[in-house]
Structure 1
Amino acid sequence: MRHEHLHIDYQVYATAADLPPDDAALLREAQSATALSYAPYSNFHVGAAARMASGAIVRGANQENASYPVGICAERTLLSVAATLHPGETIDTLAVTAAEIHEPISPCGLCRQSMLEFQNRTGRPFRLIMGGATGPVYVLEDARALLPLAFTNEDLRR
């Protein structure tokens, strides 16, 4: 038996104000998207915003449902909107945040897999900015870093 280690490279910014201007603006878009959240059960209001390759900004917010787990996370809402309104276009950067949390939030497993699938489908990785209402901000150069042992459709066909 041998031991292996997984390593995730990411940048840490003390606050959103320390981000490059374009990234700070995108995180503000994600923060404003938290107001679009429908979260009467969890009170966990999540917003996401993406800058498409064309420069267009797409936003998404989590949408809960009394018939749990029928709701949809902000990231998957955003990916659906992006694929529908900008078919075939790649995402440059995606930002995600929550209204009530003061530490960076990280996408759930379903969202991580969905981001990987979007990247595979469009043929280009995208950057991921994770923030909270205040506090530090994490930036990954490739969203796939959050799912290092991911599987793809090609893996399923083998």
Structure 2
Amino acid sequence: MKLITVSTSIEIYDSIDELPAEVIKLMNTAVEAREKAYAPYSKFQVGAAILLDNNEVIPGSNQENASYPSGLCAERTAIYYAGAKYPKAIIKIMAISATSLNHAVTSPIPPCGACRQAIAEYEVKQNEPIEIYFMGESGEVAKSNSLKDLLPFAFDKSNL
């Protein structure tokens, strides 16, 4: 038997105001996208915004469906659109903001497992890390330097 220790680190900012100007702008785009979410069932609205190396910004919001598995999260909405429209572009930064119509969301909300897997695919494809900033509707903002910090044992093409 051998023991493997996995270590990760996440930076925490007290508020959006502490972020670099480029990331504040991206997070504001994620907040705007969040307002366009279609979330009549969960009442949980998520917005994402992706900055590409060609300086294009791709927003996305969660889109629910009465058949729950048929919906799509904000992160995947944005990342799949970026991949479809700009297949050769490198994803540099992703910003995510979430809120609930039922209660205040003041802690950072990370991507769900399915979104982590989708982001992992693009990080492996481009062979460059994707910075991920995530927050609630207000309060602290968390920053991951790479998806590997959020999903250290990612399944990717090397496993096939």
1:69 match: 69
Which ranges of structure 2 fall in alignment gaps of 5 or more residues?
A: none
1:102 match: 106
Could you report, residue by residue, the CA deviation over 1:30-72 in whole angstroms, capped at 9, with x for unpaired residues? 1110011100000000000011001111000000000121100
Aligned-pair Cα RMSD in Å = 1.2
Deviation, structure 1 residue 2: 4.8
Between the aligned partners of 1:135 and 1:12, the Cα distance in structure 2 is 10
Q: Is the partner of 1:124 in helix, strand or coil?
A: coil
Asked if the contact 1:126/1:143 (under 8 Å) is kept, the reply is yes
TM-score, normalised via structure 1 length: 0.94
1:39 match: 39
Between the aligned partners of 1:47 and 1:109, the Cα distance in structure 2 is 16
TM-score, normalised via structure 2 length: 0.93
Between the aligned partners of 1:110 and 1:65, the Cα distance in structure 2 is 17
- Identity in percent: 36
Q: Is the partner of 2:31 in helix, strand or coil?
A: helix
Match of residue 144, structure 1, among 140, 144, 148: 148
Q: Is the partner of 1:24 in helix, strand or coil?
A: helix
Between the aligned partners of 2:129 and 2:140, the Cα distance in structure 1 is 23
Which residue identity lines up with residue 154 of structure 1 in the other structure? S
Deviation, structure 1 residue 11: 1.0
List 4+ stretches of structure 1 deviating above 2 A: 1-6
Which ranges of structure 1 fall in alignment gaps of 5 or more residues?
A: none
Q: Is the partner of 1:112 in helix, strand or coil?
A: helix
Aligned residues: 156
Asked if the contact 1:115/1:144 (under 8 Å) is kept, the reply is no
Question: More displaced, 118-127 or 59-68?
Answer: 118-127
